[in-house]
Amino acid sequence: MNDFEKNKNDINHFYNSYTNNNLKDKNDKESMNSKKKSGSKAIKMILVVVLCLTIGASGSIAGIGYFLSVNDVNIKEMLSPSTQVVETAPTPQPTEESKIITNEVIKTIEITEQANSPISAVAIKVIPSVVGIRTTFPVNTSRYYFNENSISSGEGSGFVYSSDGYILTNNHVIEEALDFNTNEFKDEAKIEVFIEGDDTVYEATVIGRNATLDVALLKIDATGLIAADIGNSDDIVIGETAIAIGNPGGIQYMNSVTAGIISGLNREILKNNNQGETNLNLIQTDAAINPGNSGGPLVNIFGEVIGINTIKIASVEFEGLGFAIPINSVIAMIDELEEVGYVSTGNPSIGITLGPTFTKEYAEENNLPEGVLVINVSAYGPADLAGIKVFDIITEFNGVDIKTFDELETEKYKYEPGDQVTVKVYRTDGESGEYLILELTLGATRE
């Protein structure tokens, strides 16, 4: 058996994203937790960007944290005053109704026997549209050279987008249940949706998702739901009331309400996901957002959704730094999520990950042809549908010899998504190998 066959059982040495999608390192969470517990003598200040999803493990709940140094997030710049000029309106005189004046448009919230304040009126209106989401997924861990399989779960929030069962939430709330870069469930995985006042536990399907913006569109088999009113995030101004509704700490605290103000607009936050590092332009609020709030709505004083709660920054030095995805950014992609299941970049995609240590020297030592080594194939992606398998060596792309990653990239970008090409691969079965010519239809790289 040559070194190539021995290393088939240890493909972690080869991981390098070909489709510009970084494979998730399951050990990240453990390393993040160890960093959080360690002292901070060597670093003057650490900011923790928390994706506000609760993860259940043996009955415990903990937030998922990303540690960013001051070099990653310029806190002074992020908290600098907005350049937006807001004209203040005269303070209205108290009447039997609470009148809110914004940009010379007067809207009225009726104070009923059920609601003794504008915020409680908003809560009464919006809570029927807010849902709890529980994601169950398999986990494989290594301990003392043994692999252990178990089932874990996470809980987050969402809200009803349409009365026929469409639900909006964060991608990071549900992505652990799905095969890498697809909308297909892993074995034993499921997504459950809980609705206030309804004892039914609904199992959801994934219609589409966008890892870059951290948005997912789900569908449950239900009708007559109360859809949330959608506002206009372009119209919000710094200082106006902001109300977050969701499930901090999990579904046991379902539909908790916190209130504050819009603290800032167009805040750039660096976030890691399956697509690599992404800069998000977010709404900043001091309304409390905690693990479990992810995917829930941030609403204005009229009960209109203006954002999807997604991140908080936690640090000893700072508090009240919560962030939401502007709802206008989400609505702009809904049609594409429904039609194709993801948002396309328009770039061609093969749907594979390549091993960077497969070099000319390695190939010669193991009596293998030069090419690029496939170490991961995205389920239901172009390569998977064409029949390309893990440990295939790609030697030609549409008749052109391929020996390096750069050569494959150069040839791939000569074509458009939907074009059909031929791929020549060398496949081993342990002792010998054979060349295969496969027909592949290029896909589109997704955000």
Given 233, 294, 349, 378, the catalytic residue: 294
Distance CA 420, CA 371 (A): 21
Listed by start position, the domains of the chain span 3-19+350-446, 22-79+110-340
Question: Which runs of E-coded beta strand occur in 144-197?
Answer: 146-162, 166-169, 190-195
What are phi and psi for residue 138, nearest 5 degrees? -80, 150
Look up 172 and say whether it is catalytic: yes
CA-CA-CA-CA torsion sign (213, 219, 224, 225) = negative
Beta-carbon contacts of 224 under 8 Å, excluding residues fewer than 6 positions away, are 163
Query: How high is the pLDDT of residue 402?
Result: 93
pLDDT in tens, the chain (447 residues): 666 655 655 544 433 333 333 333 444 444 444 443 443 333 333 344 556 666 654 333 333 333 333 333 443 343 333 333 333 344 444 444 444 434 444 444 454 556 678 999 999 999 999 999 999 998 876 555 566 778 888 999 999 999 999 999 999 999 999 987 788 898 889 999 999 889 999 999 999 998 888 999 999 999 999 999 999 999 999 999 999 999 988 888 898 999 999 999 998 887 665 555 667 789 999 998 888 889 999 999 999 999 999 987 776 677 778 899 999 999 999 998 988 888 877 778 898 888 888 888 988 988 899 999 998 888 778 898 999 999 999 999 999 999 998 899 889 988 988 899 999 999 987 677 899 999 999 987 776
Catalytic residue (choose from 129, 153, 157, 172)? 172
Mean pLDDT of the chain: 76
**Cα 21 from Cα 364, distance rounded (Å):** 29
pTM over 0.75: no
Catalytic residue among 214, 256, 349, 392: 214
C-alpha to C-alpha distances, 170 to 144, 210, 297, 307, nearest whole angstrom: 35, 9, 11, 11
Extract the tokens encoding 143. 């301990």
Q: Which CATH architecture has domain 22-79+110-340?
A: Beta Barrel (2.40)
Measured distance CA(370)–CA(364) in Å, rounded: 8
Q: What superfamily does domain 3-19+350-446 belong to in CATH?
A: PDZ domain (2.30.42.10)
In the annotation, is 214 catalytic? yes
Query: In whole angstroms, what is the distance from residue 25 CA to residue 8 CA?
Result: 18
pLDDT in tens, 336-394: 898 888 887 777 889 888 888 888 898 898 889 999 999 888 877 889 899 999 999 99
Q: What is the CA radius of gyration of the chain?
A: 25
Q: What is the largest CA-CA distance in the chain?
A: 87
